[in-house]
Structure 1
Amino acid sequence: MSSDKFKLSHEDRIIWAQVARTVEAYPGKQVEADDWFAVEASVPPQPLPPETPSRRTHPVPGLKQPPKPRPHPIEKPVIRKLARGRLPIDGRIDLHGLTQSEAHNLLFGFLARAHERGLRHVLVITGKGASRGSDGVLKRLVPEWLGKPEFRFLISGYEDAARSHGGDGALYIRLRRERGNPK
């Protein structure tokens, strides 16, 4: 298989030689000296530019990102009961018009108090956030916050609310039960 598409350029061979020097063979395996590893770099490796706050890292296209941990979804029969009013919504909070930090702190405090009181289902209204061409900062961030460790011990799941409770601009959240509380 000595086709041209498998031949490396001089620069690629230099990079490969630098990488090959950094690895060790498995125990019991021998690495034969090859001219691949004997390539001398005519240009010293360039240091990476210093990390600046404005420089962002973007995911590489084609590479799978590890899945983000997400609480269990609320079962469809429970969502239907909440939507029709057959299962009570024990508490509600409206985050309209708040900044991200205000909304985060208020949401955490609300969920912590609701959990302490033994509430089971609450409604969080984030709003759709379609003003000024925005995609809704709180609508996007609240589900991310719910997946973070500080919220995970409070909630067992969340889903978008029914249209009668706000639709895409609200979430049903099921709180975890206390270990000793059979309610």
Structure 2
Amino acid sequence: MNPSPHSKLKEFKDLKSVKLLLAARALLAQQLEAAKLAAAAKVKAEKELFTLAIGPIKQLPKRHLPGQRAHHLPIYPPPIAVQHLLDEMAVMREAISDEFDVETLLDTDEALSFRRPGLGPEVVRKLRRGGWSIQGQLDLHGLRRDDARDALSHFVKDAKKTGWRCVRVVHGKGLGSPGKTPVLKGKVQSWLIQKQEVLAFVQARPSQGGAGALVVLLDQG
């Protein structure tokens, strides 16, 4: 029995569909292959660019890489420079002497004052009137001489770093000292004069401590 025309048409359509499917698969395979080649070419180009950028790479001898593993040294915290701090403190202590003659540099007017050579008397007058606001204070009450000297040195250094222009140093009136003699007061004056950061100082006004304190002008240049 011969197939009918309808059956032949159906077979033709099925064959055509199969050919189209095979063609689509072949095209897809070509595209995938092309994509793989493009990706490989890109990787190769990046490797070549990296090599050109850093130069030739040479593998270390195996004796430097035991077990083919990198061994990193342990990371320790940086050491504390204790000796450096002690040396710095010693330098600061030696920089101001107790034997310094301060009397010839002080102006003993209505209130004790000091100014560096080259500064006019208007600086002292402005400082005494409160022309600069007091930005920090150091109270030396109850400290021994060496401790007070170290504290003053650190205070002046830190004040300059902070950017303070005007500070107050309280040394006391010496009423609690043997013989009620203000020993620390004279020492503080001498130490301040020996500090290059100090431009001038005056005895504080009564509301700021009077004879028991100094108002100090610092150089911020």
TM-score, normalised on structure 2?
0.44
> Taking structure 1 as reference, are residues 78 and 71 closer, same or farther at Cα in structure 2, changes over 3 Å only?
closer
Instruction: Give the number of the structure whose alpha-carbon radius of gyration is greater.
Output: 2
Where does structure 2 lack aligned partners over 5 or more consecutive residues? 1-102, 107-113
Aligned pair partner of 1:101 in 143, 146, 153: 146
> Taking structure 1 as reference, are residues 98 and 137 closer, same or farther at Cα in structure 2, changes over 3 Å only?
same
Task: Report the alpha carbon displacement of residue 163 of structure 1 after superposing the two structures with TM.
Answer: 0.4
Partner of 1:160: 203
Task: Report the alpha carbon displacement of residue 97 of structure 1 after superposing the two structures with TM.
Answer: 0.3
Separation in 1, partners of 2:128, 2:197: 19
Aligned pair partner of 1:71 in 108, 112, 115: 115
Separation in 2, partners of 1:99, 1:145: 14
Aligned pair partner of 2:156 in 108, 111, 131: 111
Partner of 2:130: 81
Per-residue displacement from partner, 1:46-88 (whole Å, max 9, x unpaired)? xxxxxxxxxxxxxxxxxxxx94486336421332125xxxx42
Separation in 2, partners of 1:78, 1:134: 29
Alignment of 1:38-49 (within 5 A): none
Residue range with higher mean Cα deviation, 124-133 or 91-100? 124-133
Contact 2:137 2:167 in 1 (8 A): yes
Q: Sequence identity of aligned pairs in percent?
A: 33
* RMSD after superposition: 2.1
Separation in 1, partners of 2:104, 2:127: 26
> Taking structure 1 as reference, are residues 125 and 67 closer, same or farther at Cα in structure 2, changes over 3 Å only?
closer
Where does structure 1 lack aligned partners over 5 or more consecutive residues? 1-65, 179-183
* Matched pairs, number: 106
Runs of 4+ in 1 over 3 A off after TM superposition: 66-74
Asked if 1:170 is matched to 2:177, the reply is: no
| 1:127 alignment partner, SS class | coil
Asked if 1:126 is matched to 2:171, the reply is: yes
